Amino acid sequence: MNSWRNVWTITKRELAAYFTSPLAYVFIVIFLLLCGFFTFFVGGFFERQEASLVRPFFDWHPWFYLFLVPAVGMRLWAEERRVGTIELLLTMPITAWQAIVGKFLASWLFLALALALTFPVVITVNYLGRPDNGVILTAYVGSWLMAGAYLAISCITSALTRSQVVSFIISLVVCLFLILAGFPPVINVIEQVSPKLVDLVTFFSVMTHFEGFQKGVLDSRDILFFLSVIGFSLFTTSVILRTHRAG
C-alpha cells in the first residue's frame, strides 16, 4: 500500500509541475491545432462525405506523437540529471521503480488530458452524421496506448543523458523506426529484398498494431504489444538509473 502511495505522490507532483511552466499549455494548443487542421483541411474530412474519424483524424496520430511526445518525455530524467536533483530523488525513501512509474503515469495522464480535449472533433462528426462511436472510442484507447509506448521510449533516452535536446532527438529516431516499420513504401522495399523479414519487421510497427484499434477491434495481441513496449522501456529505464546511482 505504501509503495502505491509513494507512486501517487510522485505522480501528483510531476503532473502539477507540468502546469507551472508554459510547456503543458504550448503542447496542448499545438496538439489541438494540428488535430483540427489535419482533420478538416489536410485529411479531407468534408470531401469524404462520411461520418468517420478513422482516416481524417486518427491516421495522423502516429505522426503527431512522433514530435510532441518526445517533447513531453525529454525532461523526465534529463532535467533531474542536469540540475543534480536525481541523486536527492534516488536517496529518498522510495524505490527507483516507484519514481519511474510515478513520473511515467504523470506524463501519460497529461497526454490523456490532451487527447480528451479533442472532444469537439467527436461532437462535430456526431452533429454532421451518425458515426460508430464504439469504433471512435476504441481508436482513442489505441491512440493513448501508442502515446504511452512513445513516452516510455522517451523515458529511456531521458535517463541516458543530461541534455533534453539529445533525449528528444534519440527518442524521435527510435519512434520514427516504429512508424516506418509498418509504412507501406518501406514494406514494399522489404518484400523485394527479403519477403521473410516482412512479418518480423511489421511486428515492431506501431502502425500495424494501431490499425486494429482504428477498425474498432480490441485485439489482445495489439494491447499486449503496446503494454510490452511500455513495460520493457520502463524496466530498461530502471536499469539505467540503478547504474547511475551505483556510479
pLDDT in tens, 150-162: 999 999 999 888 8
> Do 138 and 213 contact (CB within 8 A), yes or no?
yes
pLDDT for 170: 93
Q: 219-243, pLDDT tens digit by residue?
A: 999 999 999 999 999 999 988 887 7
Return the closest-CA partner of residue 76 out of 65, 63, 85, 64: 85
Q: Encode pLDDT of 23-78 as tens digits.
A: 788 889 999 999 988 888 887 777 776 767 877 889 899 999 999 999 988 888 77
Q: What is the pTM of this model?
A: 0.89
Question: Mind listing the pLDDT tens digit for each residue in 111-156?
Answer: 999 999 999 999 988 888 888 899 999 999 999 999 999 999 999 9
At residue 90 the predicted structure's pLDDT band, cuts being 50, 70 and 90, is low
Average per-residue pLDDT for the chain: 85
Q: Is the dihedral of CA 64, 69, 70, 71 positive or negative?
A: positive
Domain residue extents for the chain: 2-246
User: Can you read off the three cell numbers belonging to residue 40?
Assistant: 478538416
Q: What is the pLDDT of residue 233?
A: 94
Q: Is 68 exposed, middle or buried (0-12, 13-18, 19+ CB in 10 A)?
A: buried
Contact 147, 111 (CB under 8 A): yes
Which residue from 213, 241, 238, 239 is spatially nearest to 226, judged by alpha carbons? 213
